Amino acid sequence: MAYELQVERAARKDIDRLPESAYRRIEAAIDALAVDPRPRGARKLRGVGSRWRIRVGEYRVLYAVFDKERLVKTLGVPRRTSKTYERLP
């Protein structure tokens, strides 16, 4: 059974600013979360509840999984830097 996808406003802004080559790959990765919210390579973020991240090239898709509601909420799509996880949404 598939999960519902919600993309937060901040994540939509991040996605809209991406170069075309990364845009298609990240959109496909987010769409795949509806089928499998914890794909191979997904990592749970420490100390922030039900938040996860997946790597898509040099970008990270940050999202939360709510199993009872069958919901995946995309929180942000930052480019990976040394400070990416300091300011989590």
CATH code of the domain in which 37 resides: 3.30.2310.20
Predicted local confidence at residue 53, as pLDDT: 93
Per the domain annotation, does 85 fall within a domain? no
> For the chain, how many structural domains are there in total?
1
- Domain containing 19 equals 4-76
In a domain, 58, yes or no: yes
Query: What is the per-residue pLDDT for 87?
Result: 59
Q: What pLDDT, on a 0 to 100 scale, did the predictor assign at position 79?
A: 83
Instruction: Encode pLDDT of 7-57 as tens digits.
Output: 999 999 999 999 988 999 999 999 999 999 999 999 998 877 789 999 999
In a domain, 50, yes or no: yes
Per-residue pLDDT, 50: 84
Distance of CA 45 to the CA centre of its chain: 12
pTM value is 0.85
Strand positions, DSSP E, 21-83: 43-44, 51-56, 59-66, 71-76
